[in-house]
Structure 1
Amino acid sequence: MHLDELKCHATDLVRLLPRQMLARLAKSTEVDRYAKELQGERLFNLLLYGLIRCKRLSQRKLEKVFESRAFCTLFDYSLGERVSHSSISERLSKVNVEFFRKAYEVFYDKLHSLYTPREIERKLLVRVDSTLVAETCNKLKKGFTVGKRPVGKDACRQRRQVKYTMGYEGFAAKLAEVLDEPAYLSEDVALPKAIDGMIKKDPEHSNLYVFDRGLSSLRAYDSMTGQHARFVGRIKTNRSMETVRVLEIPEADKCAPEKLVLDEDKVVHLREGGSRKFGTEEYRVITAHFKEPRDTTRPQNKGKAKRVENRICFITNDMELPAKEIAEIYRRRWDIEVFFRFLKQELSFSHFLSVNENGLQVILYMTLITAMLVMIYKRENKLGYSMAVFTLDLEMEDYAMGLASEMAAGNRGTPHGSQKGKHKRLEANGLTS
């Protein structure tokens, strides 16, 4: 696809940046108090532009981005200004996170309006999962360690990790948190915290939460059920349970997605690990097996390789959905793994741009805002994740060069005028205000 054939251009995304909204947020959060060089809006634009343009973004690269003609031209800043990487680091450590959190929420609400009611209905399926990012201990002061601690000469190589937990609905993260306390290493602690936060924002309890077998606590299941929140998950095949009743699976529904065959659908009581008593809450457990048997040979390195099984057990508190649909819903959980890979490979999320707690939060919100803009660009132009970022980068550079040429000619008019009025859908949704 040629750049001229794109349906959505970098110019459209630049117009989506609501400067008046950022100015209002800067005033209400007082983010610019004591700030001389990097005001909230400028830091916002610097991080957004840097995340799109730079692979393995760092504070030193941001320093060069700040001085670049393209950045200054694109966002209408004066050339010749300077900022050091140490100033960027200090600003990230002290800037008011509320400015970026509220900016993310406004972007999420506004950009969500691009989707039709039918598409929104599909996005009520929230995939919940966590991803880990590690850094050497001498840089990252907070966080948790996993495995044996190195000794002797290797002691300096010890790494700390931070967990990012998100609820992803196919377009963006509905909620995201930075967790650096050791207790959150367990998904039975981390995921319920995220889900509880999303349940509070969903008064109609319309979302359906999907997670993998890392979340297996009966207490967490009971908590979600008690709050009338529906979920679909996966449990171990040897989980202790007692059957209450068996449900019938229509013969036509037994062939499920992912080459699975549904075997059994039953209502059960579960038993919490370490307890002799079964719970009183009823859950559905749907058992399936793979059509083509997989190699289940026990891995030699048990610590790094997952055991392969031929059977799968899904769990849900929804008693109405067909068993085949439950299996399909769980299959779509994989979308969040693809989203994590996109963030890490394309938006510098595989390492820390800041290593203090405040900076981690700022970068998280800015990464998610950038991801939303890229997702719009990807969706409108029918591109893959990597190609969307690459093409957007090229267009932003061309856009900045066009602006610079017009400024040199003494005409500060809107570049790419031929594109004006071409994208009524974006403007009709109030995204340019």
Structure 2
Amino acid sequence: MPRSFFPYKKPSSISFCDFINPACNAMNTMPELQSRGNRPLKMSFEEQLRALVFFHLEEHTSAQHLLQTLKEDDFAREHIAPEDGIEKSSFSEAINTRGLEQFLHVFENLQQQASHLLPEAHKDLGQLVGIDGSLIDGTLSMLWADYRKASKKAKVHVGFDLNRSIPRKVHLTEGNGAERPFVSQILSKGQTGVLDRGYQCHELFDQLQENDQLFICRIKASTKKKIVSQHAIPADTIVFFDAMVLLGTAGINQSQHPLRLVGYEVDCVKYWIATNRYDLSAEQIAQAYKLRWNIENFFAWWKRHLKVYHLIARSSYGLLVQILSGLITYLLLAIYCHNHFKEKVSIRRVRQLRTQIENELRCWPMADDNQQFEKEPNLQNVSAIT
């Protein structure tokens, strides 16, 4: 039977249990992880999840670093590692061949928990989903991760809830994988995809409109525009253009369906935003696009403070498991920071959580000694009485 999170011989860190509890709740409804053949699992899914969350939370820099900690650190040995320990070969096999379905389930469940819990900022702008891709440096042995000669990279495509600042969906491809096809897959009904210039494609804009999917996308200033109709522009505003247009050159790459184009200027930089959101004012369109920077900040923070791009897997399967565990760790942090501080995730609060865990664990020997002291008679007093 797999070991549960809580029944340990020594007192557990209250902060760590509180932190990881939403993931425990998510596992109540997940499909059971089965071993292959007749061999028992060397690492249960619970242990695999704990190890990878611990890897990200403690900023380990390699699988070797993690495995050494699981063997030598008191807390990791008692609360993270399998009871019989885990060897490098067994750990690698678990990461690269098992648990993907379960990690997807936990990620989706945590995303739902966070969506119901976290406040929705900018509600007047609707459900905004920032969509972007990020490259992951690979090794030459990762034959599936094509990028260019003598260079291997993978690419993670993320849909990011801009109103709650949490990840929603994720896809993994080789480094050369196109980003535009994932827009339709990431967006759900009623959501608006907020996209940068790399997603500009007039055929994509037509497809999204035909599918009744909403988008806000920055386009190149040099794009040709055929004005169909113009909208009034209020005075004293950053907006200088608002019209229905056809984008591109006729007979070559012109869009088939007219869409709205908003132009505005901030700090002497002109932005051109193509959209099919007609319910928002031009200034609200500008505000919605500005929120897209939240996904850039997320990628930067995620890489820097959770070490998600320090590879511990080489297969596409294992790398997606690693990416999902990094997203799960971020969602757990988002829930924890909201519950305890009513704040968004910050490195200050992550460091504080790490310190709390360490401080609580330093109390173990004292707690054990006190319990033993209470149970044993005071020998000094006994001898004095006799």
TM-score by length of 2: 0.82
Which is further off, 363-372 or 311-320?
Answer: 311-320
- Contact (CA 8 Å) 2:202, 2:248: kept in 1 or not? yes
Q: Deviation digits for residues 278-333 of structure 1, max 9, x if unmatched?
A: 33311111122345x4xxxxxxxxxxxxxxxx422111111221000000100000
Q: Deviation digits for residues 176-220 of structure 1, max 9, x if unmatched?
A: 1111163x1xxxx32332x22233xx3xx2211101000011111
Change in CA separation of 1:76 and 1:62 when aligned onto 2, cut-off 3 Å: closer
Q: CA deviation at 1:249?
A: 1.4
2:273 aligns with 314
Give the 3-state SS of the residue equivalent to 2:53 in structure 1.
helix
1:171 aligns with 165
Q: Deviation digits for residues 41-94 of structure 1, max 9, x if unmatched?
A: 1111111112101342x111221232232024345964xx33222321122111
Asked whether 1:361 is paired with 2:320, we answer: yes
Give the 3-state SS of the residue equivalent to 2:138 in structure 1.
strand
Identity level (%): 18
Q: Whose Rg is larger? A: 2
Larger RCO (CA within 8 A; separation ≥ 6) = 1
Change in CA separation of 1:176 and 1:403 when aligned onto 2, cut-off 3 Å: farther
Pairing 1:301-380 to 2, within 5 Å after superposition? 310-379=269-338, 380=340
Pairing 1:187-266 to 2, within 5 Å after superposition? 189-193=178-182, 195-199=183-187, 202=188, 205-252=189-236, 254=237, 261-266=238-243
Change in CA separation of 1:116 and 1:385 when aligned onto 2, cut-off 3 Å: closer
2:56 to 51, 57, 81: 51
Cα distance in 2 between the residues matched to 1:230 and 1:383: 27
Change in CA separation of 1:237 and 1:37 when aligned onto 2, cut-off 3 Å: same
Change in CA separation of 1:408 and 1:38 when aligned onto 2, cut-off 3 Å: farther
- Contact (CA 8 Å) 1:26, 1:41: kept in 2 or not? no
- Contact (CA 8 Å) 1:31, 1:39: kept in 2 or not? no
Cα distance in 2 between the residues matched to 1:346 and 1:400: 23
Q: CA deviation at 1:335?
A: 0.1
Change in CA separation of 1:271 and 1:408 when aligned onto 2, cut-off 3 Å: farther
Asked whether 1:140 is paired with 2:116, we answer: no
2:75 to 41, 46, 70: 70
- Contact (CA 8 Å) 1:129, 1:191: kept in 2 or not? no
Q: After the TM superposition, list the runs of 4 or more consecutive aligned residues in structure 1 that deviate by more than 6 angstroms.
A: 117-123
- Contact (CA 8 Å) 1:213, 1:234: kept in 2 or not? yes
1:95 to 78, 93, 98: 98
Give the 3-state SS of the residue equivalent to 1:113 in structure 2.
helix
Cα distance in 2 between the residues matched to 1:40 and 1:32: 14
Cα distance in 2 between the residues matched to 1:358 and 1:83: 20
Cα distance in 2 between the residues matched to 1:31 and 1:368: 25
1:15 aligns with 21
1:280 aligns with 256
Cα distance in 1 between the residues matched to 2:99 and 2:112: 21
Letter in 2 for 1:239: T
Letter in 1 for 2:158: M
Q: CA deviation at 1:140?
A: 2.2
Cα distance in 2 between the residues matched to 1:101 and 1:121: 31
Q: CA deviation at 1:368?
A: 0.5
1:180 to 174, 178, 182: 174
Q: Deviation digits for residues 359-411 of structure 1, max 9, x if unmatched?
A: 11111111001001122333442476221221121122233444565456669
